[in-house]
Amino acid sequence: MKDSGKHTEESLVEVEFRSIRSLFETGEIKRMYEISTLYPTKIVKALGFNYGRYIKKLAKPDDFSIGEILLFSHLIGVDPNKVIEITLKETTQNVSKAISSSKSISSSKKKREASTPKKAPIKSRER
């Protein structure tokens, strides 16, 4: 039986996912959000997410579960370690920023408290 040259929907999806896999394998993807515009409808359908949840997870990849990363990796046909590596790097950066921000806020608060004059307690009048 000869191929009629028509692609099934499944083979088109595989081709699309191969392009994403290629981006991971060549190291072009540095942040998960970079793939947000690449076939999101097909990916969310395959992962069982809604679009909003998928985009939030790409923006904050530490929200992906290990199972979701494995499923996504299998879907696009890439070694899960590549996806985990990007997710871990991003998560580490996000946590470092949060820690720095927390220390900065704490330090600023202490400086304000130290420079603010203390108010004398209000004495109640006795009759």
pTM > 0.85: yes or no: no
Query: Is the pLDDT reported for residue 36 higher than 60?
Result: yes
- The model's pLDDT over 48-101, given as tens digits with 9 standing for 90+, comes to 999 999 999 999 999 999 999 999 999 999 999 999 999 999 999 988 888 888
Residue 9: pLDDT above 60? no
As a whole number of angstroms, the distance between CA 100 and CA 94 comes to 10
Amino acid in the structure at residue 45: K
Q: Average the pLDDT over 22-44 and give the result.
A: 94
Domains of the chain: 9-97 (1.10.260)
Per-residue confidence (pLDDT) for residue 103, from 0 to 100: 76
